[in-house]
Chains A and B, each alone.
Chain A
Amino acid sequence: MKYEAVIGLEIHIQLNSATKIFCDCANTPGDDPNTNVCPVCLWLPGALPVLSREVLEKATIACLSLNCEIQSESAFDQKVYYYPDLPKGFQLSQAHKPLAKKGWVEIQDEQGRPKRLRLHHVHMEEDVAKLVHETEGRVPISLVDFNRAGTPLIEVVTEPDFRSPHDAMEFLKAIRNQVRYTGCAECSMESGTMRCDANISIRPEGSDQLNTKVEVKNMNSIHHVGDAIAYEIKRQIDAVNNNEPIILHTRLWDPEKRVTTAMRAKFEGPCIPDPSVPTIVLDDAWLETMKSRLPEMPAQKVKRFVQDYSLTHDEAVLMSSERGLSEFFESVVTHGAPPRMTAGWIATQLLPALKAHQQTLAETRVTPQRFASLIQLLEKDEINSNSAKSVLEKLFEMDGTPEEIVEKFGFRQVSDAADLAKLVDQVLSDNASAVENYKNGNKKSMGFLVGQAMKASRGKANPKLVQKMIKDLLA
């Protein structure tokens, strides 16, 4: 029998607000352990939570970026369970009345067709403390770092619309890009600011039943999510084929062994509306303000880049993949550089160079203005692409406009007919056999001859003119 997988995701995203969700402590969990703590996030007796406005705003904007319906009323519940990472024995989470419902994200399926994946809801909650397991001499000890306790999260819960690891990975990329665009979260699975659990079940292909699901946790990259889902689908199909039952439980992905292993069940306590954080009531005017703060989303941007700048779809997708990148691209174009050449040079030259220099667009010396001048020099044939690459390297190293750099280092392209004629004559007389070959119909020899001319000019000759001259002379 052929099986298909039914997959739903639960994604936790840490918002980048200045403070924690219910107190004024800094939302920087990586600081020295237990330095960002107060009676509220340590939940000492008598402390009360006060919901941060900034967190509510950022959560709302993130939800809007995922096309959600913001609820005019939402509320927090106390989810009771006992564990040392939870200082008050319950987690404040919107279990019954989430901030946002519905919503969707569009991806491309394996065949490149658009596919819309639905969200069930998005709710706010607080993160728990971090447990650090160490040894003191030979005694194993567990330490608790409360810096992360009370940092703000949104949890995105999807419908079980996913059928493959591909769907899940594309969805995660899309959601990461969209939420990052809003500037409300970093969304990095590697650094833990985005975490993903997958609920997976299988069923005979074409059936619409929902079978017992298994939850898989502990994937810390988008690729791990894909690998873990692929493994779990196969494990379940093997189990069913061996007449083994699928039981509701949680499994952990082991990235070393590339398998999932069963995890001990956690005690789930009761859940009660929290009386100390009042119901959150949002009015239309406030919601409109939040909508006005939502930037242009990547999907709209792709359309506009195709339309306004005649980029191909793929180029537009690439230029829109990060908000900072898209803004850099547009800024370069605004400074007068031709859009497609700009997109190509950003993709093939600038981004790899940034990586080599370990810089980001936001901090590099290669400003949109300087980069635009470089592209313009290239467009006007004042330098050739070899020299342009050298100029780009200099832009990382020193100040000054690309024009000044071209002059200073003599990168200007040689297009003067007399100069080139002398150069070409020399090359043709030095390479008689290649000339002979060309005349006998070996067109490849042309490439060799142009290459020799470029070498003789130390890369500065205008290759197009050189080729034309040789062709004319040998005709």
Chain B
Amino acid sequence: MQFHELTLFDARKLLDAKDISSVDLVTALLERIESCDGEIQAYITVDEKGALASARKADERLANGDSTPLLGIPVALKDLLCTKGLATTCASRMLEGFVPQYDATVVEKLKESGAVILGKTNLDEFAMGSSTENSGFHITRNPWSLDHVPGGSSGGSAAAVAARLCTASLGTDTGGSIRQPASHCGVVGIKPTYGRVSRFGLVSYASSLDQIGPITRDVRDTAIMLNALCGHDPRDTTSANVAVPDFTAALDEYETQGLKGMVAGIPKEFLSVKGLDSDVEKAFYHSVKQLESLGVEVKEISLPHTDYAVAAYYVIAPSEASSNLARFDGVRYGYRDTEAADLIGMYKKTKSKGFGDEVQRRIITGTYALSAGYYDAYYGQATKVRSLISQDFSRAFEGCDIIISPVAPTPAFKIGENVDDPLTMYLTDIFTLSTNMAGLPGISIPCGHGKTGLPIGFQMMANRFDEMALVRAAYGLEQTLALENCFPEM
């Protein structure tokens, strides 16, 4: 096996056994990036020097008998996470040249755990999009089919894991931005409970919805990454002060106890949406059968306010974005237009030229939804819908342990197919964004392939802070499906 194909878990074993060095692993991945990323374009920035330097340090520590869970493991970060001394662009022209003076808490945690940062991955500008086509720099291609999108907004992070351009990566998920690209690229992605992972150093899109999570080759690697990322952070007051379990224990729970007695709910509103692809539906029910074969009780449930979720989400997220992005004004850092004659002119020109179309669309939508006279009708109503959706889930979880659904209505679509149709693009988030509205955890794992060979994902959602249930069930399904053809030919 080649080094770049190793899972995190296997790489850990080989590193600890001194069969390979971190420098070997990192060099292999850098070479792979060199040869493959020209086509995929998963990365915005590759930090070759920094990566090799930390790999050498990791090897010294390994030689001294040190071992931490991520020591010497090469990871990639969505370029929405601040990295000290390493350019952070949010895939926006607006932040060209911006180099943070601090690491995001998750980056600190990864480094403490010994991880090697390979570089920063592409995304839809400021995480606004579902295809990574809205990047201010370049698109990213799906490793399974180069004329298809990788999904988004964490498209670069998902494509990098699928194309084996890193061992694991971090994404962020505001309405499905980890799970949907993970589904489209055939990898595992989890959005933890809101508050599980610190948001400090994550450039905010919609602060009440944003959450950071890992994208990995398999469920075991996801558990290892969660262990490194979760926990209260005094710098983020919304990060929850709750105990963090050892998520790898959920794998052992499956090994010893299986899934017998677990109850899974299928929301009837999800499976009756228009435009649900038949391959997606087939793959979904195939997995449902596997779960039943493991002793999971599957039943139909109802999330009655699903119909309003997309509309409410696309009021709340742009509203929060409109004030969060107000700070990018050209005064202190990043892009500034120098042609304008006065201050207001400078603001206008900087924002018009620095932000891409989708970002401007959402800022304008949000500003409108919050403006005097419309506030109650839009933002106010959307907030009410949001609490109704939360209540729907609370009620549902009284009768089941996990809720299951497809991740997206279709496999990855073609590059350019939906660019001029933002509404269709928004509707592809239908299965994922409710969990953000309710602050719940959700995971996407590969469950098969469509006729075109593109991967299809399976989503599981759980109650707040019950990622253990997700990891356990996802691991069970992954083991039982035992998919072959797990990675694209490259």
A interface vs B, CB < 8 Å?
Answer: 39, 42-51, 78, 80, 82, 84, 87-90, 144, 269-272, 274-278
Residue B418 CB within 8 A of the other chain: no
Residues of B within 8 A of A44 (CB): 100-102, 333
The answer to whether A82 touches B370, judged by C-beta atoms less than 8 angstroms apart, is no
The segment out of B54-62, B157-165, B233-241, B481-489 that lies at the interface is: B233-241
> Which residue of chain B is the closest to A81 with respect to CB atoms?
B326
Q: Is the CB of A89 within 8 A of B329?
A: yes
Q: How far is the CA of A88 from the CA of B327 in the complex (A)?
A: 4
- 1/0 per residue, CB under 8 A from A, across B377-391: the answer is 001000000000000
Decide: B235 and A50 in contact? CB cutoff 8 A. yes
Q: Knowing that A46-B204, A276-B199, A277-B237 touch, tell me 6 more A-B residue pairs with CB under 8 angstroms.
A: A45-B98, A45-B100, A45-B328, A48-B199, A82-B347, A270-B375
> Which chain A positions have C-beta within 8 A of B333?
44
Query: Are B237 and A82 neighbours in the complex by a CB distance under 8 Å?
Result: no
**Interface of chain A: mostly helix, strand, loop or mixed:** loop
B344 to A: closest C-beta gap in Å: 8
Q: For A277, what are the chain B residues with a Cβ–Cβ distance below 8 Å?
A: 237
Q: Which 8 A-B pairs have the closest CB atoms?
A: A89-B326, A270-B370, A275-B208, A88-B327, A275-B207, A46-B201, A45-B203, A46-B82
**Contact (Cβ within 8 A) B370 A271:** yes
Bound together, the chains give a CA A365 to CA B98 distance in angstroms of 56
A269 with B238: CB separation less than 8 A: no
Q: What's the minimum C-beta distance from B201 to chain A, rounded to whole angstroms?
A: 4
Shortest Cβ distance from A83 into B: residue: B343
A89 and B320 CA atoms in complex are apart in Å by 13
| Interface, chain B (partner A; CB < 8 A) | 81-82, 88, 90, 95, 98, 100-102, 104, 199-204, 206-208, 234-238, 319-320, 322-323, 325-329, 331-333, 343-344, 347, 367, 370-372, 375, 379
Beta-carbon nearest neighbor of A277 in chain B: B237
Of A45, A50, A84, A271, most B-chain CB atoms within 10 Å: A45
Q: Hey, which chain A residues are within 8 Å of B343, CB to CB? A: 84
Q: Which of B203, B237, B322 contacts A50 (CB 8 A)?
A: B237
CB distance A84 to B331 under 8 Å?
A: yes
Q: A45-B95, A46-B104 are in contact. Are A278 and B88 (CB under 8 A)?
A: no
A365 to chain B minimum Cβ distance, whole angstroms, is 45
* Cβ A45 vs Cβ B237 within 8 A: no
Complex interface: chain B residues within 8 A of A78 (CB): 323
- The closest CB in chain B to the CB of A77 belongs to B323
Shortest C-beta distance, A24 to chain B (Å), equals 10
- The answer to whether A50 and B234 touch (CB under 8 A), given A44-B101, A270-B322, is yes
Chain A minimum-CB-distance residue to B374: A270
Say how far B85's CB is from chain A's closest CB, in angstroms: 14
Instruction: Report 10 cross-chain contacts, Cβ distance below 8 Å, ordered by A residue.
Output: A39-B101, A42-B332, A46-B204, A51-B237, A80-B326, A82-B329, A88-B327, A90-B326, A274-B207, A275-B207
The CA-CA distance from A74 to B329 in the complex, in Å, is 30
Distance A135 CA – B329 CA, assembled complex (angstroms): 23
Min CB distance, A282 to chain B, in Å? 16
C-alpha gap A42/B329 in the complex (Å): 13
B362 to chain A, nearest CB (A): 14
User: What CA separation (Å) do A170 and B8 show in the bound complex?
Assistant: 71
B326 and A45 contacting across the interface, CB-CB below 8 Å: no
B27 to chain A: closest CB distance in Å?
A: 31
Assess the B319–A272 pair: CB atoms within 8 A.
Answer: yes
- Chain A contacts of B328 at CB under 8 A? 45, 89
B16 CB to closest chain A CB (Å) equals 33
> Knowing A44-B333, A46-B82, A276-B237 touch, does A270 contact B203 (C-beta < 8 A)?
no
Shortest B290–chain A CB gap in Å is 38
Q: Give Cα A270–Cα B319 distance, bound, in whole angstroms.
A: 9
The CA of A275 and the CA of B237, in the complex, are separated in Å by: 10
A269 and B208 contacting across the interface, CB-CB below 8 Å: no
A44 to B238, CA, bound (A): 18
Smallest CB–CB gap between B388 and chain A, Å?
A: 18
* Closest chain B CB from A235 CB (angstroms): 29
- Nearest-neighbour CB distance to chain B for A84, whole angstroms, equals 5
| CB nearest neighbor in A for B379 | A272
Q: Which residues of A contact B319 (CB under 8 A)?
A: 270, 272
Residues of A within 8 A of B320 (CB): 272, 275
Partner of A87, one of B82, B203, B238, B327: B327
B327 to chain A, nearest CB (A): 4
Centre residue among A49, A80, A277 by max chain B CB count within 10 A: A80
- Shortest C-beta distance, A434 to chain B (Å), equals 81
Of the candidates B202, B327, B347, B371, the one having the most CB atoms from chain A within 10 angstroms of its own CB is B327
Chain A's closest residue to B82 (CB) is A46
Contacts of B326 in A (CB 8 A): 80, 82, 88-90, 269
Residues of B with C-beta under 8 A to A84: 331, 343
Contact call B322/A45, Cβ cutoff below 8 A: no
A203 to B183, CA, bound (A): 68
C-alpha spacing A269/B90, complex, angstroms: 25
A45-B200 contact given A51-B237, A278-B237, CB 8 Å threshold: no
Instruction: Tell me the bound Cα distance from A89 to B326 in angstroms.
Output: 5
- The CA-CA distance from A51 to B100 in the complex, in Å, is 23
Q: Do A89 and B327 have beta carbons less than 8 Å apart?
A: yes
Q: How far is the CA of A172 from the CA of B484 in the complex (A)?
A: 78
* Interchain CB contact (< 8 A) of B371 among A45, A46, A82, A270: A270
In the complex formed, the residue of A with least CB distance to B383 is A273
From B88, B200, B208, contact of A47 by CB (8 A): B200
Whose C-beta in chain A lies nearest to the C-beta of B327? Answer: A88
- Given known pairs A45-B98, A89-B329, the reply for A278 and B238 (CB within 8 Å) is yes
B418 CB, min distance to chain A CBs, angstroms:
28
- Contacts A89-B329, A270-B370; is A46 near B200 (CB within 8 Å)? yes
